[in-house]
Amino acid sequence: MRLQRRRFNEASDVRTIPRGRIDVVELDDTVVGRMTYEPGWRWSVDVQPIAGTDSCQYHHLGFTLSGRLRAQMPDGTELEVGPGDVFEIPPGHDAWVVGDEPWVSVDFEAMRTYGKQRDARDERILASIVFTDIVDSTSRASDLGAARWRDLVGEHNRKASAAIDRYRGRLVKTTGDGVLAQFDGPERAVRGAAAIRDAAQGLGLAIRAGVHTGEVQTTADDVRGIAVHTAARIMAVAGSGEILVSATVMDLIDGSGLTFEDAGLHELKGLHGTRQLYRLVTLERD
């Protein structure tokens, strides 16, 4: 952490979208964006074709400079923000500009990849995959009731999204009671999984997680490949609160300040042979 300053008129990345513009600045690991949306802009019309998802899957936390925006959640709940409003908009929303004045805001949460154009073709890359799952979700849902459980899972997803973004990850999708995330390195993936676990604990929830690194095929709204299946199978054998990683991850993060212990050999469903797994014990704070 150090003293530093950036200006939006000297942005490190400028992303243009239909009827909109996003100016992005970076302060080491912190990414901040200025969003400018013209009158008539709507996420489901102007950004959905870029994102390839049914709704915006980013968590937005910001401040409105001018203009007005209305956001709508799947249950019909709406929020309108205007000049001077500090706002928070969870993943899973649609949004549109209200009135005939551009909406200009500063967003502190979702700007690492929001609004980036993606190649229409599938792309194969090396990535670190994290799968998480809320432990005993069925019984917890039964105890709390449908409405309270839905709210709790929504808060979990919001905090998980923030943790993933903190470690430069991409929230690929939520899975009902967990998340699938993609990171550009194994150390960030493990730290991201630990941050999700910590956030869940703060909500009174326990999660389990699996982490693996391998080649994957990415699209606008999904990630596929044996590496994804492997991470899911690793998660499936983890216990409550455990983060298990593959031997591949262990080989790549030597000297990272993360401490693991031997979790034994496991036969992972649908995968050939036995796999050596390791359990995260401690991590030096970054």
Q: Is residue 112 a part of any domain in this protein?
A: no
Tell me: do 244 and 192 sit in the same domain: yes
pLDDT at res. 283 = 73
Tell me: do 196 and 241 sit in the same domain: yes
- 168, with CB counted inside 10 A (0-12, 13-18, 19+), is middle
C-alpha 41/C-alpha 37 separation (Å) is: 6
Q: Is residue 113 a part of any domain in this protein?
A: no
pLDDT at res. 120 = 40
Tokens of 190: 């493990």
Q: Is residue 1 a part of any domain in this protein?
A: no
Tell me: do 58 and 189 sit in the same domain: no
Tell me: do 163 and 263 sit in the same domain: yes
Tell me: do 137 and 227 sit in the same domain: yes
Tell me: do 59 and 20 sit in the same domain: yes
**What CATH number did the domain enclosing 44 receive?**
2.60.120.10
pLDDT at res. 27 = 83
**What CATH number did the domain enclosing 208 receive?**
3.30.70.1230
pLDDT at res. 186 = 95
pLDDT at res. 118 = 60
Q: Are 110 and 59 in contact (CB under 8 A)?
A: yes
pLDDT at res. 1 = 58
Q: Is residue 114 a part of any domain in this protein?
A: no
pLDDT at res. 116 = 80
Q: Are 244 and 211 in contact (CB under 8 A)?
A: yes
Tell me: do 194 and 271 sit in the same domain: yes
What is the SS3 assignment for 159? helix
pLDDT at res. 220 = 61
Q: Are 108 and 79 in contact (CB under 8 A)?
A: no
Tell me: do 136 and 102 sit in the same domain: no
What is the SS3 assignment for 214? strand
pLDDT at res. 123 = 64
C-alpha 60/C-alpha 94 separation (Å) is: 12
Which regions of the chain are under pLDDT 50?
A: 120-121
Instruction: Show the beta-strand stretches assigned E in the chain.
Output: 13-17, 20-27, 30-37, 60-66, 68-72, 78-81, 86-89, 94-98, 103-107, 123-134, 170-174, 179-183, 207-218, 223-224, 243-246, 258-267, 274-283
Tell me: do 42 and 182 sit in the same domain: no
Cβ count within 10 A of residue 100: 9
pLDDT at res. 254 = 79
What is the SS3 assignment for 186? helix
Tell me: do 276 and 151 sit in the same domain: yes
Tell me: do 96 and 208 sit in the same domain: no
pLDDT at res. 121 = 40
Q: Is residue 3 a part of any domain in this protein?
A: no
- pTM of the shown model: 0.64
Tell me: do 168 and 200 sit in the same domain: yes
Tokens of 255: 């000297």
Q: Is residue 146 a part of any domain in this protein?
A: yes
Q: Domain boundary at 82, 107, 132, which?
A: 107
- Which residues span the domain enclosing 72? 8-107
Number of domains in the chain: 2
